[in-house]
Amino acid sequence: MMASLEAFHFLRPVWLLCLVPLAVLWIMARPRKAARDIDTADIAPHLAAALRVGGTGARRILPVDGVAVGLALLALAAAGPSWSRIPNPLVSETAPLVVALKVTESMETRDLAPSRLDRARFKILDLVDARAGARTALIAYAGSAHRVSPLTEDPNILRPLLDGLSPAVMPKPGDDPSAALALALEISATADTPGAILMVLDDFNPAAVANFKSPDDVPLPPIVMLVSLPNGQVPAQLDRVAGVTVVPLSADDSDLKRIERTLRSAYKAALLNDERLKWQDRGGWLLWPAAVLALLWYRRGWTMRWTMVVLLAGSLQLPSAGMAEGWQDWFLTPDQQARLAYEDKDYARAATLFEDPMWRGHAQMRAGQYADAAETFADLDTADAAFAEGLSRIRNRQYRPGARAFEKALERQPDFPAAATNRDIAWAIVAYVETAQEQSDTGEEHGIGADEIVYDNETQRGTDTSIEAPSENSAPQTAQQWIDSIDTDMGDFLRSRFLLEQTGAAR
Question: What stretch of H or E contains 226?
Answer: strand 223-227
CB within 8 Å of 31: residues ≥ 6 apart:
62, 64
Say what the pLDDT of residue 323 is.
40
Cβ(419)–Cβ(413) below 8 Å: yes
Ranges under pLDDT 70 in the chain: 1-6, 32-42, 48-61, 86-94, 133, 192, 215-218, 266-277, 296-331, 439-489, 504-507
Concatenated DSSP letters for 282-299? -GGGGHHHHHHHHHHTTS
Cβ(385)–Cβ(364) below 8 Å: no
* Residues forming beta bridges with residue 140, ordered by sequence position: 101, 146
Cis peptide before 114 (omega within 30 of 0): yes
Cβ(121)–Cβ(114) below 8 Å: no
- Nearest 5 degrees, angle CA 265-CA 268-CA 272? 135
Q: Delineate the domains of the chain, giving CATH numbers in brackets.
A: 2-84+281-316 (no CATH), 97-272 (3.40.50.410), 341-432 (1.25.40.10), 445-506 (no CATH)
CA distances from 237 to 173, 199, 213, 454 (A): 21, 15, 14, 54
Say what the pLDDT of residue 147 is.
92
Mutual angle of helices 116-130 and 155-163, in 10-degree steps:
180
Full 3-state SS string of 453-465? CCCCCCCCCCCCC
d(CA 445, CA 473): 17
Secondary structure percentages of the chain, helix, strand, coil, to 5: 50, 10, 40
Say what the pLDDT of residue 341 is.
84
d(CA 366, CA 364): 5
Q: CA 171, 174, 175, 181 torsion: positive or negative? A: negative
d(CA 377, CA 381): 8
Question: What stretch of H or E contains 63?
Answer: helix 63-79
Closest alpha carbon to 204 in 233, 184, 231, 183: 233
Say what the pLDDT of residue 506 is.
55
Say what the pLDDT of residue 325 is.
47
| pTM of the predicted model as reported, rounded to 2 decimal places | 0.53
d(CA 326, CA 353): 13
Mutual angle of helices 399-412 and 417-440, in 10-degree steps:
160
Say what the pLDDT of residue 145 is.
93
What DSSP designation does 85 have?
Answer: B
Say what the pLDDT of residue 204 is.
92
Cβ(409)–Cβ(419) below 8 Å: yes
